[in-house]
Amino acid sequence: MKIALVAHDKKKAEMVEFMVKYEAVFQPYSLYATGTTGKRIMEATNLEIHLLKSGPLGGDQQIGSLIAMGDLDLIFFFRDPLTAQPHEPDISALLRLCDVYGIPLATNQSTATLLVQALEIGWLLK
């Protein structure tokens, strides 16, 4: 299973804490992340992550491309809904692709926790 990890600037610390908490669950999977988010997760864990570009520099579009090619199964995208993002069109396109291709997407920690629990019991196998 291939999983993407993305977090807006104000949500990066939350994403890192989440990944530390569930590091053992994510260990067997192929992980992809946008630039800074992935680096921060790797600094805090022993997880190996395929680093993409920063979101505003094309990382969101790289993830969208992986979705369209059938190369992603699950996305954790901790969004900051209270801060305007200069690359909002890229974010909207990424969310739309998740809907088009039926990719499970967690945009907050509560939903992410439910998806991790589904991973733990084998409900999200590919």
Residue 82 sits in a domain whose CATH number is 3.40.50.1380
The model carries a pTM of: 0.94
Note whether residue 84 is domain-resident: yes
54 among annotated binding-site residues: yes
Helix, strand, or coil (residue 92): helix
pLDDT value of residue 18: 98
Q: Which of 81, 73, 83, 51 is CA-nearest to residue 119?
A: 73
Note whether residue 125 is domain-resident: no
pLDDT value of residue 73: 96
Q: Which residues contact 101 (CB under 8 A, 6 or more apart)?
A: 67, 68, 70
Sites in the chain below the pLDDT cut of 70: 125-126
Annotation says 80 is catalytic: no
Q: Which of 57, 16, 48 is CA-nearest to residue 30?
A: 48
35 among annotated binding-site residues: yes
Note whether residue 77 is domain-resident: yes
Residue 112 belongs to domain spanning:
2-120
pLDDT value of residue 90: 80
Q: How many domains does the chain have?
A: 1
pLDDT value of residue 126: 58
Among residues 60, 73, 80, 90, the one annotated as catalytic is 60
pLDDT value of residue 6: 96
Note whether residue 126 is domain-resident: no
